[in-house]
Amino acid sequence: MTSLTATAIVCSVRPHGEHGAIVRMLTAEAGLLPGYVQGGRSTRMRPVLIPGNIVRGAFRARTADQLASLSVELEHSRGPLLSEPLPAAAIDWTCAFTAASLPEGHPYPALYSAMSAVLDAVEAAPAARGWAVALVRYELLVLAELGFGLDLSECAVTGARAELVYVSPRSGRAVSEAGAGLHKARLLRLPPFLTEGGEAAWDDILLGFALTGHFIERDLVDPRRAEMLAARERLIERLKRAVA
């Protein structure tokens, strides 16, 4: 018998059978873990099994290869945010992205901490200026943790560390204004907040999402995961309407 009890973030919930649900949750100790919740679609459990909620999960399985049975207790609910379009879209995308991208059973403590921080920021600042930058950085961190990190430290052409304003869509390396030459139209824009830190204007935030989106679609999305991008598209459209 294998077992684990841990605090976790609910990332996805899929109906299974007549009343149950398969739930994927991110833990600090063991990464993304799936489990079967008996009665997971019941009136009592639906408010608990909301993506973004923090729960105490107890996984139990006879063997390491068996889908674990899972019992959960709510520690913190983000359900009230579902009535707010922008926060709801941000939570939906963050959780769907995490559930679809990470391999199961591999610990990613940095991602757990970063995802917790993003969701906390969404909850604390529903107006989006307080969390949009953090979400772009989270997407970059997921890419890096999975082996698709961008190199924004120096220009791929000249080696310069200043005036980095583009990213090569092929190599994922930064390119300076001087290094871009006649190829600017083929390059992705690099917003300053990703290299300099600090706050960002809305135009730069949207450029950040465009940059990470290119590499997410190229490196992390296969036909089985394409549906997760719909959640991202909803978020981007709501952000654009909010700042129009």
Strand 20-27 with 68-76, pairing: unpaired
- Provide the pLDDT for residue 126: 62
pLDDT, one tens digit per residue, over 73-129 is 999 999 999 999 999 999 999 999 999 999 999 999 999 999 999 999 999 986 787
pLDDT value of residue 205:
95
**Structural contact between residues 77 and 50, judged by C-beta atoms closer than 8 angstroms:** yes
From CA 20, how far away is CA 41, in angstroms rounded? Answer: 6
Let me know: does 29 contact 4? Beta carbons within 8 Å: yes
Across the chain, mean pLDDT equals: 94
pTM, rounded to two decimals: 0.94
Per-residue pLDDT tens for 182-238? 999 999 999 999 999 888 999 999 999 999 999 999 999 876 677 789 999 999 999
How far is the C-alpha of 56 from the C-alpha of 76, rounded, in Å?
Answer: 10
What pLDDT is attached to residue 62?
87
Question: How many percent of the chain have pLDDT more than 70?
Answer: 98
211: which 2 tokens? 């940059």
Q: In 3D, which of 151, 152, 144, 136 has the Cα closest to residue 236?
A: 136
Which residues is 37 bridged to in the sheet?
21
